[in-house]
Amino acid sequence: MEILKEEPLPPEVPTLVLPNTEDVLALGDRLDGVELIILDFPKFTDGRAYSQARLLRERLGYTGELRASGAVFIDQIPFLLRCGFDSFASAQKGFSEALDKARTLFSVVYQPTGDGRATANELRLQRRAAVAA
């Protein structure tokens, strides 16, 4: 299994490993000091960890490393990135190369998420405001 991430963390990093059935909104103090959260995708057709990731990033303000593990495949990468995952444990061949490509695959996005990217509508409004000024 290859683990791909931005920056290596020391082995003693405070970590939470959560099943996709865990209510992340109920974690409370368990998030204090946690630098790595590993969310499980038990099978390809079960996407509850996407929702967990968005809740952690957007509602709870989690800024540490968020790792997707389990049934994590190449065709999921753009969606995983948009939901806030920044590291991945995947056994699929070619995952690393696909990850590099996926980071620049879409130049414009439509749905707002907590990843900081402006949506197509926001870009349109900015362009209109600049022309009007």
Confidence (pTM): 0.79
CATH architecture, range 2-106: Alpha-Beta Barrel (3.20)
Structure tokens at 89: 């444990």
Q: What is the pLDDT of residue 5?
A: 57
Q: What is the pLDDT of residue 4?
A: 59
Q: What is the pLDDT of residue 11?
A: 66
Q: Are strands 36-41 and 65-70 parallel, antiparallel or unpaired?
A: parallel
Contacts of 119 (CB under 8 A, 6+ apart): 108, 109, 110, 111, 112
pLDDT tens for the chain, 133 residues long, are: 455 554 555 667 889 999 999 999 999 889 999 999 999 999 988 999 999 999 999 999 999 999 999 999 998 998 999 899 999 998 888 888 888 888 777 778 888 787 778 889 999 999 999 999 8
Amino acid identity of residue 86, one-letter, is D
Q: What is the pLDDT of residue 104?
A: 78
Q: CA 10, CA 125: separation in Å to the nearest integer?
A: 43
Q: What is the pLDDT of residue 23?
A: 96
Locate the DSSP E strands across 1-133. 2-5, 15-18, 36-41, 65-70, 87-90
